[in-house]
Amino acid sequence: MKIKYKINEVKPKVFAVVIEDRYDRAMTFLRVQEFYESPNKKFRGKNFSIWDYIKWYSEEYGKGFTYGTDWNGFNVPLETAYKCYDTLNDRYTDYDEVMETIIHKLYELNGDDADGYIIGAGNTDGDTFKHEICHGLWYTNSAYKKDAKALLTIIDKKDYEVFENNLLEMGYTDKVIDDEIQAYLCYGHDVDNFSNGVDKEVCKAYHKEFIKGLNNYIK
């Protein structure tokens, strides 16, 4: 299988893997993404069977295996992705072969240092890409993370709980809630699945504060 991809270091230690085809992008990232943050403990941190995952996902969301259309952007620590394939004992798919090759290339580009971050997107334009940049900065840039955490404190407790519940319903695990909220409030505050239940003008006000406080890192 031939998967077309490009690799760009978009911020120090933050590498964008650009795969234009949405389905190929999702399936290339599936293994490492779910190893990193699957809401199901059967898969998170485990070297799971891809067929077990497909069956679970289809049954959990009741609409067949729609992973390739449900998810658009991806993000995972390089160290976590490396660990996933370093200990994998399940049969590799063609997509796994591609991703493992990418990981080794990124490891070399990062000076044989696993302390980096991978983001997956269809291009390097638009809000989806910038949203994923926010995740990369949260992980690699301590100053960014400090400022983002400070901004999280301005969110009303009830609104925070709505964002949190929405994210959990979307399929995120509880360990990445703060990271996801800051990324969505920078880019994606108007996504219904994220903001449903919070006044639109309030979301817009949060967005303005997050952009004001973090844009110098992102741009």
With contact defined as beta carbons under 8 Å apart, do 120 and 132 qualify? yes
Distance CA 5, CA 98 (A): 10
The pTM score is 0.89
Task: List, in order, residues 6 or more apart from 27 with CB less than 8 Å away.
Answer: 67, 68, 93, 95
How far does Cα 6 stand from its chain's mean position?
18
Residues 137-168: tens digit of each pLDDT: 999 999 999 999 999 999 999 999 999 999 99
Say how many CA atoms lie within 13 Å of 211 toward its Cβ. Answer: 15
Query: Looking at residue 50, what is its pLDDT?
Result: 94
pLDDT(1) > 90: no
pLDDT(20) > 90: yes
Domain limits, the chain: 6-128, 141-218
Please provide the distance, in angstroms rounded to a whole number, between the alpha carbons at the two ends of the chain: 35
Task: List, in order, residues 6 or more apart from 89 with CB less than 8 Å away.
Answer: 47
Residues 90-139: tens digit of each pLDDT: 888 999 999 999 999 999 998 888 789 999 999 998 898 999 999 999 99
